[in-house]
């Protein structure tokens, strides 16, 4: 059993890189901008290159994971992360930097869902929520690490180090994954039953391995693995749930806070850059701590209660934030902004943050899991990209009150959506969940 956690620790380095590499650029840009004399448009391109790469990566990753295996794909992303980190640290021009960030982005986009898929397929049902959400914990640790690294290398403006240190977790991922087994479910589906059984024997108590293999095979036998299977009527609902949660996770504004927190704090009248950076770290710490709380509750309370409480709390925090900005008094606004942003990120971390990634690793039938997770992940990165591009103009043009109360309204709709359609998956095997949708393909 313990071995599953070792494997999970290695695979979760993908999450660490996801968080670090999406978080690191904002600090580095402070110095890259003057060095390469970037225009505002170029700043936008450098910032969003990784998100654009991730959007592209999420399209190709699913088919690849279904064809060559989950572990092999994660290994490839390990190589891409290493190459991208080294290239971005050495960048001699803006174009070079954009290309390196695109490479890292592709790796992020693929790893963002192939890692949870791999973790889900290797976990026992009893603690699958915890194990898959370890990836989300790693994302939040990566974001916090990016804030800390930016702070540490800020004196002297050493932006090459800020981006380059990403090579350390990339190497751990690459070397560590060489020693982990392939997903038993992918092996079974590809007709390699003996290898699947051998892996299950490594990660389960002896009597459970063959029982689990039999269950995987009977579920896999019930469906034909074709991409066109995505259009099967039985898959409509799981696709609506995955894409719906994907879009909701982003258009309720999480990354406007993760990527732009210091700007929001300054806009709220916080005195000095140091105070804003400190408050931003507070947000990063709240994100990590509440993700740990979620981890402990996912397999006990279940996915649904956490999602609903999290969404309700996000709406309340956004309303408070809007009221704070509307009040107009600088001192009060800065205090209210700090409290409400910490609360907002905390509620995201117990709900939409982990539950989205856990849910999409559970609700799709094995035969189309890669392709279906690709679709949901694409929706997630694409929405992320759009929000990141639009938010600075939104806040400059319409102001923070409109922006944040807009996110609150979307949050209310998201709550209603989740209440109606999101199922409870706690404690059930992936094959039981699969049967719920009927014959899928
Ligand atoms: C989201 C990211 C976000 C992160 C924050 C993830 O679940 O997909 O977009 O930056 O959580 O912790």
Residue 322, classified by CB atoms within 10 Å of its CB into exposed (0-12), middle (13-18) or buried (19+), is buried
pTM higher than 0.85: yes
CA of 79 to the centre of ligand 1 (A): 23
17 is a domain residue: yes
CA of 69 to the centre of ligand 1 (A): 25
40 is a domain residue: yes
Please tell me the predicted confidence (pLDDT) of residue 75.
97
Q: Which of 138, 258, 289 to mutate to test the pocket of ligand 1 (most atoms within 8 A of CB)?
A: 258
Residue 63 is encoded by which pair of tokens? 């088919």
* CATH number of the domain where residue 294 is located: 1.20.1250.20
Torsion of CA 363, 228, 103, 114, to 10 degrees: 30
CA of 353 to the centre of ligand 1 (A): 6
Please tell me the predicted confidence (pLDDT) of residue 440.
44
CA of 200 to the centre of ligand 1 (A): 31
Name the H helices within 204-272.
Answer: 206-221, 236-251, 254-267
Place of tokens 């074709």: 226
CA of 139 to the centre of ligand 1 (A): 7
Q: Which of 249, 345, 379 to mutate to test the pocket of ligand 1 (most atoms within 8 A of CB)?
A: 249
The parent domain of residue 159 ranges over: 2-180+221-437
Q: Which of 18, 50, 113, 255 to mutate to test the pocket of ligand 1 (most atoms within 8 A of CB)?
A: 255
Place of tokens 């406007």: 256
Cβ of residue 136 lying under 6 Å from some atom of ligand 1? yes
> How many domains does the chain divide into?
1
Residue of minimum CA distance from atom 8 in ligand 1: 353
206 is a domain residue: no
Angle between helix 273-297 and 330-350 (nearest 10): 30
Please tell me the predicted confidence (pLDDT) of residue 363.
96
Digit-coded pLDDT (tens) for 348-394: 999 999 999 999 999 999 888 999 999 999 999 999 999 988 888 88
190 is a domain residue: no
Residue 267 is encoded by which pair of tokens? 């806009």
200 is a domain residue: no
pLDDT < 70 regions, the chain? 1, 220-228, 330, 438-441
Q: Rounded distance, CA 360 to CA 184, Å?
A: 18
Digit-coded pLDDT (tens) for 336-352: 999 999 999 999 999 99
HSE, side-chain direction, 13 A CA sphere, residue 104: 36
Largest CA distance in the chain: 68
Q: Rounded distance, CA 257 to CA 353, Å?
A: 13
Distances (CA, A) of 233 to 37, 123, 237: 53, 28, 8
211 is a domain residue: no
């Amino acid at each position: 059993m313990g071995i599953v956690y070792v494997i999970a620790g290695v695979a979760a380095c993908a999450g660490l890189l996801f968080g670090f590499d999406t978080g690191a650029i904002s600090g580095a840009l402070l110095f890259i901008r003057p060095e390469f004399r970037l225009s505002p448009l170029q700043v936008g391109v450098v910032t969003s290159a990784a998100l654009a790469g991730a959007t592209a990566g999420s399209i190709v990753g699913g088919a690849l994971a279904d064809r060559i295996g989950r572990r092999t794909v994660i290994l490839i992303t390990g190589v891409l992360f290493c190459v991208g980190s080294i290239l971005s640290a050495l960048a001699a021009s803006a174009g070079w930097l954009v290309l390196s960030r695109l490479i890292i982005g592709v790796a992020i986009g693929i790893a963002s869902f192939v890692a949870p898929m791999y973790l889900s397929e290797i976990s026992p049902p009893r603690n699958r929520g915890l194990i898959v959400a370890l990836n989300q914990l790693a994302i939040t640790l990566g974001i916090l690490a990016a804030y800390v690294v930016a702070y540490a290398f800020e004196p002297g403006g050493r932006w090459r180090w800020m981006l380059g240190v990403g090579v350390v977790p990339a190497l751990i991922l690459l070397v560590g994954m060489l020693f982990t087994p392939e997903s038993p479910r992918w092996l079974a589906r590809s007709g390699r039953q003996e290898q699947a059984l051998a892996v299950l024997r490594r990660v389960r108590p002896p009597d459970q391995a063959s029982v689990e293999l039999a269950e995987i095979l009977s579920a896999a036998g019930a469906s034909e693995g074709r991409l066109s299977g995505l259009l099967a009527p039985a898959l409509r609902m799981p696709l609506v749930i995955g894409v719906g949660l994907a879009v909701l996770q982003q258009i309720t504004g999480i990354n406007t806070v993760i990527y732009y927190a210091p700007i929001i704090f300054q806009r709220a009248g916080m005195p000095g850059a140091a105070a804003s950076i400190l408050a931003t770290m507070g947000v990063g710490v709240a994100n990590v701590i509440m993700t740990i709380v979620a981890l402990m509750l996912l397999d006990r309370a279940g996915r649904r209660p956490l999602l609903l409480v999290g969404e309700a709390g996000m709406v309340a925090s956004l309303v408070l934030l809007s009221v704070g900005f509307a009040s107009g008094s600088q001192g009060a606004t800065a205090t209210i902004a700090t409290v409400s942003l910490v609360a907002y990120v905390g509620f995201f971390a117990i709900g939409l943050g982990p539950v989205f990634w856990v849910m999409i690793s559970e609700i799709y039938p094995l035969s189309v899991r890669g392709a279906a997770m690709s679709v949901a992940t694409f929706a997630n990165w694409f929405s992320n990209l759009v929000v990141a591009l639009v938010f600075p103009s939104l806040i400059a043009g319409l102001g923070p009150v409109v922006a944040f109360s807009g996110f609150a309204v979307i949050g209310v709709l998201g709550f209603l959506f989740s209440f109606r359609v999101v199922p409870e998956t706690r404690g059930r095997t992936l094959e039981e969940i699969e049967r719920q949708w009927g014959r899928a393909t």
